[in-house]
Amino acid sequence: MTLMDLYGFRYTLRLLPNIHKDFTPIGFGLSVIAFFIGAFMVRAIKLVPMARGVVLEELEEGYIFLDTSGRLTDYNQYAGTLLNITDCMVGKLFFELPQLELLDQAFVTSAEEKSALASGETISWTVHHEDRVFLVKLRVIYGKWGARGTAILINDITERSKMEFEIETARANILKRERFAVIGRLAADIAHEINNPLGFVWSGFRSLKEICKQKEAEGCFTAEAKEILQEIGEGLSRIERVVKSLLEYSRRGAMFDYAPAPYDFTQGIHSAIELARGDFERFAKIELELEKLPPLIVKGNEIDQVILNIIRNAVDAVRERFCQENKDGKVCVDVSQKPGLIHIKLYQDGNDAVCEISNNGPPIKPEDAERIFEAFFSTKDERRGTGLGLSIAREVIENHHDGRLELLRCDPVTFVIRLPIQPGNVKQLQ
């Protein structure tokens, strides 16, 4: 066999003993076709799942896949980092894994049923787990032969939730301050309207007293009539004090419309007591221990609101302990006794004016004491409080006036306000 025969044997196909045909071009063509078919098959079987895996790994949220029996079959890197999932957990039931305890078994089952009924619709919900907040999305995946499993996306939205909470808190604070400003202006208008006719009533009352004195000298004025006249005088004095307090509030201006000015802390306490007296006078008494202090340079209306808020909180606490309400919502107490006590102490401590307000209502629980100044946290019934009063009060004292507002004791409940007396220590807000 010659060299040419060997060459021909490698590149030709012998069909008949006497016929030789070179099929090399056909071989190359078949090779190209086979290559493209193979590439297509590799793409269909290998490349597409690989691409899908890359996409899942690059997701900035956790991906978990459960089979129809609830076993973990797949997860991406983000889920592994977020929840500390490892490969050894694959194949185990999700509700047996501590790392997936945020996925409540009953709730996930219910969500799967809802998704199944909605033909694979995505079900979303928020989960508070430990100190983090997660947004969980669940969807049942279907194939040709029915459900193939459940895909779950988990995203850590703790920071977003905090931002939303802060925005909502700020919005609520603004709304409440605007409401206070509107109420303040309305109260001032009402006080002025009452004050004008009150002057005529006082004038007539004094004239009546003079006439009664003459009748008393003549023996025509009974002791009962004298007692009634005295009660009328006390009622007019009470109206006058309330109107005066309202006018004091209005003179200090609306919440945003006035600059820091000299403030009489003692007068502010008396004004707040007069405004709150109707809330507590049937079942509680107030004890005052007030030192005369030098004026403070503050926004008086804001300090008035803080004092009034804490006094009204004390009134609510005393009411809760000593009073019961009937079906009409009216307080039922023995008016001959006043078991409630609110004690207010004002004194100077170095360069600070200190005001302690305490009450003998129910003590505050230690776990509640840690959150008492949080926005929207309240120990009251929903009808009596929004949980914003103390939060706003602390903001006013500490952020606006460089002071301190603290819970001094849980039993008896005592709040303490500290404000600097020196004007240089007070922020001059624009």
pLDDT of residue 382: 53
pLDDT of residue 6: 45
Strands 340-349 and 284-290: parallel
Q: Which of 154, 158, 155, 107 is nearest to 130 (CA)?
A: 158
Please state, in angstroms and rounded to a whole number, the distance separating the CA atoms of residues 354 and 107.
52
Structure tokens at 32: 């190209």
Count of alpha carbons within 13 angstroms of residue 151, beta-carbon side: 13
Angle (CA) 359-363-364 rounded to 5° is 115
Please state, in angstroms and rounded to a whole number, the distance separating the CA atoms of residues 398 and 405.
7
285: helix, coil or strand? strand
pLDDT of residue 425: 41
| Domain 62-156 shares a fold with domain 259-430 | no
φ and ψ at 251, to 5 degrees? -65, -30
380: helix, coil or strand? coil
Q: What does pTM read for this prediction?
A: 0.48
Per-residue pLDDT of the chain (430 residues; tens, 9 = 90+): 444 454 444 444 444 455 455 566 677 777 777 776 665 555 444 444 555 566 677 777 888 888 888 888 888 888 888 888 888 888 888 888 888 877 776 667 776 677 666 566 788 888 887 788 888 888 888 877 777 888 889 888 888 888 888 888 778 777 766 776 676 677 777 777 787 787 778 878 888 888 887 777 776 767 777 788 888 887 888 788 777 777 766 665 544 445 788 889 998 999 889 888 888 888 889 999 999 999 999 888 789 889 989 999 999 889 888 887 665 655 556 556 778 899 999 999 988 999 999 999 899 888 888 888 886 677 666 555 556 778 888 888 988 888 999 999 988 999 999 999 875 444 443 3
The CATH superfamily of 62-156 is PAS domain (3.30.450.20)
Whether the CA torsion 215, 220, 225, 226 is positive or negative: it is positive
- How would DSSP label each residue in 286-328? EEEEE---PPEEE-HHHHHHHHHHHHHHHHHHHHHHH-EE-TT
Contacts of 5 (CB under 8 A, 6+ apart): none
pLDDT of residue 429: 36
* DSSP H or E segment with residue 129: strand 123-129
pLDDT of residue 43: 45
Where along the chain do its domains lie? 24-58, 62-156, 161-255, 259-430
CATH number of 259-430, picked from 3.30.565.10, 3.30.200.20, 3.50.50.60, 3.40.50.970: 3.30.565.10
**Helices 158-217 and 223-251: crossing angle, nearest 10°?**
140
Please state, in angstroms and rounded to a whole number, the distance separating the CA atoms of residues 227 and 216.
13
